[in-house]
């Protein structure tokens, strides 16, 4: 299994376990994560989740080296667009309208902590942003790389980042397609805490235990009130659906295919703006 799940009391710990690929998400991992978040949300015995990665990365994003990676991305983008359209018509929960909700922790009102142990890029960055709290190792780096691959930063990277940190800093990260070290992420409020690598999981566990000791319904209501009251009523859901639409449009461009191919072939991309 490329996703390891361990439960201890009221806390679940999810470990992305493809260290040879920097825990890049492939279809099997996506399926496992989707199943976990659904089960976690329904399990009355579990109150908090921690997600981390094995080896030197939290998650480097989606696996773009597979031969079918680009076609898979196009299919996922089409599915995401259809889901967003269906959500809009049905008036569903805005937190489920994200491009990565098929394997993201934003499917639940239960708290989720990202223990970021190393590289956290692209789709991995989206995954970390969709968590409620982010604790980083002092050796970790975090950021969006999508435009370097000819892609729009999907899965909520644009909408969340622009709301979580100063707007200019969000644009700097998005447009330069660069990454930050842990101390800078903490300085701008993107990380809640920075620890040594050895203290990362113990700290995340300590926070999780503290949260789990609180009244679970009150905790979930607090999370919901914060998201719906502060983020969702300021155009977040509409922004997420727009982002999903734009992501789908970008995925069918020549530049997106070129960026994926160049990454897999370890060469500079030759973008043509079409």
63-93 pLDDT per residue, tens = 766 555 445 554 554 454 444 444 443 334 4
State mean pLDDT over 138-153.
90
The pTM score is 0.82
SS3 6: strand
Position 64 scores a pLDDT of 67
Domain ranges of the chain: 3-265
Report the C-alpha gap between 67 and 70 in whole angstroms. Answer: 8
CA distances in angstroms from 141 to 40, 86, 180, 271, listed in the order given: 28, 36, 5, 26
Phi then psi dihedrals of residue 223, to 5 deg: -60, -45
Mean pLDDT (whole number) for 20-39 = 91
Adjacent-strand bridge partners of 11: 8, 48
The Cα 230–Cα 233 span in angstroms is: 6
The span from the CA of 99 to the CA of 126, in Å, is 9
**Please, are residues 188 and 164 in contact by the beta-carbon 8 Å criterion?**
no
Strand, coil or helix: what is 172? helix
Half-sphere exposure (Cβ direction) of 132: Cα atoms closer than 13 Å: 24
Mean pLDDT of the chain: 84
* pLDDT tens column, 238-267: 777 777 777 788 888 888 888 888 888 888
3-265 CATH: 3.90.226.10
Task: Flag the least confident range among 48-62, 122-136, 250-264.
Answer: 250-264
């Amino acid at each position: 299994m490329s996703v390891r799940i361990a439960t201890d009391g009221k806390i679940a710990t999810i470990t992305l376990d493809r260290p040879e690929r920097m825990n890049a998400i492939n279809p099997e991992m996506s399926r496992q994560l989707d199943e976990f978040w659904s089960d976690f949300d329904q399990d009355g015995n579990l109150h908090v989740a921690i997600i981390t990665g094995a080896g030197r990365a939290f998650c480097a994003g989606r696996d773009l080296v597979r031969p079918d990676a680009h076609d898979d991305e196009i299919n996922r983008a089409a599915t995401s667009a259809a889901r967003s359209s269906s959500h809009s018509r049905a008036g569903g929960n805005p937190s489920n309208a994200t491009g990565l909700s098929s394997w993201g922790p934003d499917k639940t009102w239960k708290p989720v902590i990202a223990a970021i142990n190393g590289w956290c890029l692209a789709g991995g960055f989206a995954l970390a942003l969709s968590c409620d709290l982010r604790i980083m190792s002092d050796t970790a780096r975090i950021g969006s790389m999508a435009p370097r691959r000819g892609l729009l930063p999907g899965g909520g990277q644009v909408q969340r980042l622009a709301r979580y940190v100063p707007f200019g800093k969000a644009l700097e990260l998005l447009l330069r397609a660069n990454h930050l070290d842990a101390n800078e992420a903490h300085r701008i409020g993107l990380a809640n805490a920075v620890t040594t690598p050895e203290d990362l999981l113990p700290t995340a566990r300590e926070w999780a235990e503290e949260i789990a000791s609180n009244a679970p319904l009150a905790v979930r209501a607090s999370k919901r009130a914060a998201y719906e009251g502060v983020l969702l009523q300021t155009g977040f859901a509409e922004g997420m659906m727009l982002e999903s639409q734009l992501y789908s449009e970008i995925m069918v461009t020549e530049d997106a295919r070129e960026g994926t191919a160049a990454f897999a072939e370890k060469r500079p991309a030759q973008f043509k703006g079409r």
